[in-house]
Amino acid sequence: MDRHKQLEHFIAANPDKVGKVVYFDAARHKLLRLDFTDANHELSPEIIGHTQQFSAWVFKKLKENKCKYGVGGYFENRTIYSRSALFNTTAEPRCLHLGIDIWGDAGTMVYAPLAGKVHSFQDNDNFGDYGATIILEHHLDGLKLFSLYGHLNDESFLGLSEGMAIEKGEALGEFGSTEENGNWPPHLHFQLMFDMEGLKGDYPGACRLSEQDKYRHNIADPGLILQFPAGSII
């Protein structure tokens, strides 16, 4: 059985071992699917290039649609990365988003959805980067899985140490403000990897189109953990 199937099987067989990443009540809350591809003609280069305008656009959409969070992005071919040189270091830019983003208020609490331990953490403080980032390591009936939480606030590192045990449902940190999260509208980048490839405190959150086969092999669908009801997404 390949690792993707192993993960699906573990989740199906152990629903009690999978918890929330953010607080969400499907009976009261709605989620807005945000499109950051070139099909979204509302997002001009001017809006994307100015963090405050970009943030105002995101929260205007959430308010208009009465949604608690904006969500989406798994293997989405994004245009928004043109705002940062971090994604354009070669002739072929990194444009395929490897995680799921949850867009919401700064200070939103983030929880560990699985028991595990702290693999590593780091402040990736380049413009357009993750900002404060925590990576957890999980062992799921013989399957090793890593979960990444990017764009947190600086206080999320307080009391943290590599190797420390983390329980399912334990508070990890909070969504960071634009000043501390890599200059993005407040949100969480949530990503799953089977192999950290020797990296610590960081792992690519976007890849080049030519690399997608490699990353599809290593990157699991975060939706398997988030389990947002399809009926809650508009």
Choose the weakest-confidence range: 37-51, 73-87, 93-107. Answer: 73-87
Give me the CATH number covering residue 99.
Answer: 2.70.70.10
Is 23 domain-assigned? no
Residue 64 pLDDT level (bands cut at 50, 70, 90): very high
> Please, what is the average pLDDT of the chain?
94
pLDDT digit string, tens, across residues 108-140: 999 999 999 999 999 999 888 999 999 999 999
Q: 227: left (phi > 0), else alpha (psi -120 to 50), else beta?
A: left
Residue whose C-alpha is closest to residue 59's, from 94, 24, 106: 106
The number of folded domains in the chain is: 1
Taking the C-alpha atoms of residue 72 and residue 196, their distance in angstroms, rounded to an integer, is 23
Task: Please give the pLDDT value at position 48.
Answer: 86
Local confidence band at 92 (pLDDT 50, 70, 90 cut-offs): confident
Parent domain of 102: 3-15+29-230
Say whether pLDDT at 87 is over 80.
no
* Per-residue pLDDT at 225: 98
pLDDT of residue 99: 98
Rounded Cα distance between 208 and 47, Å, is 24
Give 172-226 pLDDT, tens digit per residue: 999 999 999 999 999 999 999 999 999 999 999 999 999 999 999 999 999 999 9
CA distances from 44 to 38, 57, 129, 206 (A): 10, 11, 21, 21
Given a cut of 80, whether residue 81 has pLDDT beyond it is no
Residue 100 near residue 151 (C-beta atoms within 8 A): no
Global model pTM greater than 0.75: yes
How many residues does this entry show for the chain?
234
206 lies in a domain?
Answer: yes
Say if 24 falls within a structural domain. no
Residue 234 has pLDDT above 90, yes or no: yes
Residue 220 falls within a domain, yes or no?
A: yes
What residues contact residue 55 under an 8 Å CB cut-off, 6+ apart?
178, 184, 185, 186
Q: Considering the domain boundaries, does residue 205 fall inside one? A: yes
Distance CA 99, CA 75 (A): 7
Residue of 3 and 95 predicted with greater confidence: 3
For 135-166, write each residue's pLDDT tens digit.
999 999 999 999 999 999 999 999 999 999 99
pLDDT of residue 190: 98
> Mean of the pLDDT values across residues 223-232?
96
pLDDT band at 83 (very low <50, low <70, confident <90, very high): low
Distances (CA, A) of 215 to 7, 46, 201, 232: 16, 31, 18, 28
C-alpha–C-alpha distance, residues 94 and 82, integer Å:
9
> What was the pLDDT predicted at 43?
86
Is residue 190 within 8 Å of 219, Cβ to Cβ?
A: no
